[in-house]
Chain A
């Protein structure tokens, strides 16, 4: 039985984490990893609210329509009318990338008005992706809005709505270093995704059947204050099942010929 990896503990919910930040790049797309995360997330919360800011909502509808847990998924549009320019829209329900109402109020209104059932007590918020909000608002505003979403609010406690976790995908190439640092600071878990070399991939037999794989550098701040920092490998399999493996770095040792020449 493989040892539990840090990333797997986070994804499965065994290790609590309020804000999980998944960073990808142009050379390594993190959306498949995010989908793998949602697969496990849907099993342990009452509802998963997914805010779609990068792709049209129809992409997600199509994907989740075949899932057993589709009744737990609530999709929120953050792509089709991001600045209120579409005068033909009948409903004003698209999340604005920049709004006088602010991110927190928009998100909370969306959560309140789209509840799976009156008894759902634990909801998770998935943001795909956070990049448009971070590009159109100050870093302070984004950070404070995300923190506020997790805080108990008197109005919402009456409705028994509890945001237990926020998972946000962030494209690291689209932001300045200080923006990324600020986001990592407020996140209790930061998962940085990278490509892996063919050599690394061949070391793990189970990756042979993976459709997609990569390296995940996970930094997690436990409740005790201990900081875990681990490099692990992930693989995406059929139906976007995500599996995590231990990563053993290749150590290049100098040969005896090099030593004798010195």
Chain B
């Protein structure tokens, strides 16, 4: 009885439909049933920039850059047909693009806060967002944004390449961090993290304990 809202900045709907097909998910019918809603972030941003007759949705009334209209579009997508919210998964792919579009770090944090509050506190939902944090790139805003998201998340999936270099059989390392950020239960105050290796297949991903790749065993 729930739905998925995908806010995408870098890929088109067709890309996700073809990925869905490989995973055995029919996104076309999900779109028709309105259990999957696609919001093209790139189109949203370009509207108003290309056509000067339309108001720019990324500029607010005081002529400052704002993500308010984008949040309102997401909020509308989350609501049910009768206006009542239903359990929803919001996926944002990917947040770093907003930095590349020169949105201030603080504006992005405000936008993410609203999305998070709506998904996690107003409705029985969940939010998943992708952000890039390249250690080789000296971009302070990117690092701060990544840390902001880390600090405001309950679970962090930290993906990185193998420290030993590229491998045909193991594509990378995934660290799962349970932040326990609210520290509400004194029985579970500590941060918990687990590391696994993974390999990406054509139709999925397989995970295994570090050092136990089938190629090694």
Residues of A within 8 A of B (CB): 26-29, 31-32, 35, 54-56, 58-59, 62-63, 79-80, 82-83, 85-86, 97-98, 131-132, 135-136, 171, 173-174, 176, 211-212, 236-240
Q: Which of A80, A97, A237, A240 meets B117, CB within 8 Å?
A: A80
With A32-B189, A238-B186 in contact, do A135 and B114 touch (Cβ < 8 Å)? no
Q: Which of A29, A56, A135 meets B109, CB within 8 Å?
A: A135
| A residues less than 8 Å from B182 (CB atoms) | 31, 55, 59
Q: Are B184 and A62 in contact (CB under 8 A)?
A: yes
Q: Which of A62, A82, A174 meets B110, CB within 8 Å?
A: A82
Closest 8 CB pairs of A and B: A212-B189, A31-B183, A32-B183, A211-B186, A56-B121, A136-B106, A173-B147, A32-B189
Q: Are B68 and A56 in contact (CB under 8 A)?
A: no
Q: Are B121 and A58 in contact (CB under 8 A)?
A: yes
| B residues less than 8 Å from A56 (CB atoms) | 117, 120-121
Q: Is the C-beta of B11 less than 8 angstroms from some C-beta in chain A? A: no
Q: Would you mind naming 5 contact pairs between A and B with Cβ atoms under 8 Å apart? A: A26-B151, A55-B181, A79-B113, A173-B151, A176-B140
Within the complex, what minimum Cβ distance (angstroms) separates A135 from chain B?
5
Q: Is the C-beta of B73 less than 8 angstroms from some C-beta in chain A? A: no
Give the docked Cα–Cα distance between A174 and B190 (Å): 20
Binary interface encoding of chain B residues 59-83 relative to chain A, with 1 for a CB under 8 A from any of its CBs, else 0: 0000000001001100000000000
Q: Which B residues from 112 to 168 make CB contacts under 8 A with A? A: 113-114, 117, 120-121, 140, 144, 147-148, 150-152
Give the docked Cα–Cα distance between A33 and B189 (Å): 11
| A residues less than 8 Å from B113 (CB atoms) | 79, 82, 132
With A31-B181, A79-B113 in contact, do A211 and B189 touch (Cβ < 8 Å)? yes
Main secondary structure of the interface of B (DSSP, over half): helix
Q: Is the C-beta of B179 less than 8 angstroms from some C-beta in chain A? A: yes
Binary interface encoding of chain B residues 173-212 relative to chain A, with 1 for a CB under 8 A from any of its CBs, else 0: 0000001111110110111000000000000000000000
Within the complex, what minimum Cβ distance (angstroms) separates B42 from chain A?
22
Q: Are A174 and B147 in contact (CB under 8 A)?
A: yes
Give the docked Cα–Cα distance between A80 and B110 (Å): 10
Give the docked Cα–Cα distance between A180 and B166 (Å): 39
Give the docked Cα–Cα distance between A83 and B64 (Å): 13
Give the docked Cα–Cα distance between A121 and B145 (Å): 41
Q: Is the C-beta of B44 less than 8 angstroms from some C-beta in chain A? A: no
Main secondary structure of the interface of A (DSSP, over half): mixed
| A residues less than 8 Å from B148 (CB atoms) | 135, 174
Q: Are A79 and B183 in contact (CB under 8 A)?
A: no
With A59-B182, A171-B151, A174-B144 in contact, do A29 and B121 touch (Cβ < 8 Å)? no
Q: Which of B71, B120, B144, B180 meets A29, CB within 8 Å?
A: B180
Give the docked Cα–Cα distance between A173 and B71 (Å): 27
| B residues less than 8 Å from A31 (CB atoms) | 181-183
Within the complex, what minimum Cβ distance (angstroms) separates B125 from chain A?
13
Give the docked Cα–Cα distance between A63 and B186 (Å): 11
With A54-B152, A83-B68 in contact, do A35 and B121 touch (Cβ < 8 Å)? no
Q: Is the C-beta of B16 less than 8 angstroms from some C-beta in chain A? A: no
Give the docked Cα–Cα distance between A136 and B105 (Å): 9
Give the docked Cα–Cα distance between A224 and B118 (Å): 49
Within the complex, what minimum Cβ distance (angstroms) separates B96 from chain A?
17
Closest B residue to A58 by beta carbon equals B121
Within the complex, what minimum Cβ distance (angstroms) separates A67 from chain B?
13
| B residues less than 8 Å from A212 (CB atoms) | 183, 186, 189-190
Closest B residue to A79 by beta carbon equals B117
Q: Are B189 and A29 in contact (CB under 8 A)?
A: yes
| B residues less than 8 Å from A54 (CB atoms) | 151-152, 181
Most B C-beta atoms less than 10 A away, residue of A27, A82, A83, A240: A83
Give the docked Cα–Cα distance between A27 and B175 (Å): 14
Give the docked Cα–Cα distance between A56 and B68 (Å): 20
| B residues less than 8 Å from A29 (CB atoms) | 179-181, 183, 189, 191
Q: Are A32 and B186 in contact (CB under 8 A)?
A: yes
Given A26-B150, A211-B186, 13 other A-B contacts at CB below 8 A? A31-B183, A54-B152, A55-B182, A56-B117, A58-B121, A85-B68, A136-B106, A171-B151, A173-B151, A174-B144, A211-B187, A212-B183, A239-B186
With A80-B117, A176-B140 in contact, do A97 and B110 touch (Cβ < 8 Å)? yes
Closest B residue to A195 by beta carbon equals B191
Give the docked Cα–Cα distance between A32 and B148 (Å): 19
